[in-house]
Structure 1
Amino acid sequence: MVFMPVSSSVAVVLAVKRLDAAKSRLAAVVPDDRRRGLVAAMLADTLGAVEEAGFAAVTVVTPDPRVAEVVAEFGARTLDEPARGDLSPLNAALLHGIDDVRPTADLVAALQADLAALDAPALTEAIDAAAAVIARGADAAFVADRSGAGTALLVVRASAAFTPRFGPDSAAAHREAGAVELDPAHRRWARLRTDVDTPDDLSVAVELGLGPRTRDALDSVADIARSDTDGVFLRR
């Protein structure tokens, strides 16, 4: 069976923690009172790229009503976080979302929610590549983040019992679980691979070109975001 992305056969799932607890490693360049807005802006730009790519079935798992407000702007669904179990909070949330959409999807794409430079072509091409791999018999495929250690995108066959393994060294964990790594040489999809956790990540995203909401959020802290804090200069 050939799975067609940008259609109802592909569901996209994201997970976002409470904004108050998000992105503490950006404190060196973004003050606490502005960081929540930046996290919400990165989510909005990620959802904007998903929407532009044509994916209609989008679910965000979050306990934060402020995140739910952003999600509603894009016509996406929200689910509350599941009860704590054996998995990390992120993987438990993603698995909860995946389980929720399994009955109506052929593929489920678990996507990082902090892809400030993501664009629709990169996302579509990567999911196309994952769909082709899964059509040949794999249960899952993934795109590593720009460091090569983490995971930016995991696409799973909806009928497969595959548990997401996001977190430290998740690329290796996903490979060990049988997921196929897409473009292991990292020649493609730089905008997809750049999730933003650190000031250096944010600097790279700025160089690639930010989405409009993230750009506006950084404009609001321009005096800090353009400073050379801890050796990181966020060039515009």
Structure 2
Amino acid sequence: MNELTSEQIAGEESGDKIVIYWEREYSTAIAPERLKLDFMPHRPLLSGMSLNEQRTVAVEGYKVIPDDCGPVRTVGQYGWLIRSPADCKIRRTTEGVKWQAPPILPEERILGYKSFSGTYVDLILNSGYPKLCCGIRFYYPKQVGLMMKDVPNHFYHYPDRTFFVWEGIKTQEYKRTPNMYEWLPDYDAFTSNFLLQLTKPTTIKRGDPIGIVVPVMLPKQFALEELKRP
């Protein structure tokens, strides 16, 4: 059996950390990694300057970029990045979605997958969307959900991308993947298969960033209320 690797969500104390496990579904899958989008780490931020300093750098040709926004910088380093496990070409034809991708060899299969490619199909409307199987299976505790989403601000970091990721949240209410480990009784499992929206025929290389996985709270765990001033 493939050995599980853990990731943690930090709480205020070490005992508050929620552990999320992952494993490969085939040996060639690329391990998830902390998202760290490339900004300009040594660039001076306007938020740390006095008004006179801001005027000085403006005269020198300083141009505002998204990295100047604290929340944009934070979201660019939040969650786990999932990369493509193989080179593949995808295009839409009158007959549906067409793939060109190598097979998963028998000796590479750990949890039974035979193909990197899949399709979410509507047989009634004769339409479909390509689904890229990235080969990472997560195990998450039932008190959280895992959100699969596009790389944040991809129009800035990857302006030449020819696809978008359909975003969704996996919770225990929509479990489809079995948890095979008795020592994880309060965990559910899901596979990092990303549903893609193509803007044109697309070529994806092994190692290309596809999307991210982010832990989220469940709707029942919070409420939104208007603040009433006394």
Name the TM-score, length of structure 1 as normaliser. Answer: 0.28
Going by fraction, where is strand more abundant, 1 or 2? 2
Larger Rg belongs to = 2
